[in-house]
Amino acid sequence: MNYSKRPLGVYFLEVGAVMRPSAISYNRSHSSFSEILPSMVNWEVALRKGKWMHWTGITTALSKGAFDTLKAGLILAKQKGMIISADPTYRSGLWKYDQDPKEALTELLGYSSIFIGGINEINEVLGTAYGYSNEEFLEASKLLIEKFPSIEKVFDKIRTSLNSSWHKIRARMWNGSEFRETDDLDITHVVDRIGTGDAFAAGLIYGLQQFDDYKAMQFASAACALKHTYEGDVNLSTVKEVMGILEGNISGRFIR
């Protein structure tokens, strides 16, 4: 572990309700993590037992050092034959240094085989303007795979918000041979939606190692939906609890 004199990043969350949106303020631009450099991470040690490496676009946006550090890890992971998944979402307003976001993401996507993202993310890296329909998602995914031959599968989480307190979550995928879409999970009383994207990615990574692609996506959706029921940004649910949703126990039956 590396220590720094810089503080951890902090965020302040105002939890919304009904038509009042949640609002978040980050204080992390000079956090210890943003000052990471390739020399600080011994990737050989870090990846010694690993089978899977996952990265997100936010890391690439933070600093040149973070980008370089991540890239070094991806190169080694690729050499070792690990599976690499990407959640390329970043917020364009937050790109912090003078590198072209599209270029940076393009470079790193070249190491990745699982793309976790939707129309916005595909349009961002391809410079296209696809719409949100299933047909356009399918077309966009195919073009993405054409342009990034390392990418094999695309998984897209879809949030439908009635308001801040009532969301629905479903997912769709193109895995190179099959388009599938899950049913909506109805989150009638949202507790906290922070961290739900990460819960989806984590669920997918677990699922793809256990199940076929469709069931993996169902597992990811259920994990994502469950995260909405916990305060805080961490999904506290166990595999058994997520599987309960897949097995149809969505009525919240009492556990004694």
List interacting residues with a copy of itself (CB under 8 A): 6-7, 10, 16-27, 29-30, 91, 161-166, 185-191, 193, 222, 225-226, 228-230, 237, 241, 244-245, 249-256
**DSSP per-residue letters across 67-95:** HHHHHHHHHHHHHTT-EEEEE----GGG-
Residue closer to a copy of itself, measured from CB, 26 or 132:
26
- Report DSSP state, residue 5: S
Least distance to a copy of itself, CB of residue 9, Å: 9
Least distance to a copy of itself, CB of residue 123, Å: 18
Residue closer to a copy of itself, measured from CB, 16 or 50:
16
Whole-angstrom Cα distance, residue 197 to residue 166?
16
Least distance to a copy of itself, CB of residue 242, Å: 10
Least distance to a copy of itself, CB of residue 246, Å: 11
Residue closer to a copy of itself, measured from CB, 145 or 194:
194
Residue closer to a copy of itself, measured from CB, 23 or 75:
23
- Which residues are paired to 84 by β-bridges? 53
Least distance to a copy of itself, CB of residue 240, Å: 11
Give the SS3 label for residue 110.
coil
Tell me the residue ranges of DSSP E strands in 46-177: 52-56, 83-87, 114-116, 153-163, 166-174
Whole-angstrom Cα distance, residue 211 to residue 7?
40
- At 46, the amino acid letter reads A
* Phi and psi torsions of 230, nearest 5°: -110, 140
Least distance to a copy of itself, CB of residue 113, Å: 29
Least distance to a copy of itself, CB of residue 235, Å: 11
Residue closer to a copy of itself, measured from CB, 35 or 68:
35
Residue closer to a copy of itself, measured from CB, 5 or 49:
5
Listed in sequence order, the residues at least 6 apart from 191 whose beta carbon sits closer than 8 Å to its beta carbon are 228, 229, 230, 231
Whole-angstrom Cα distance, residue 4 to residue 35?
9
Residue closer to a copy of itself, measured from CB, 32 or 150:
32
CA–CA–CA angle 118, 123, 124 (5° rounding): 100
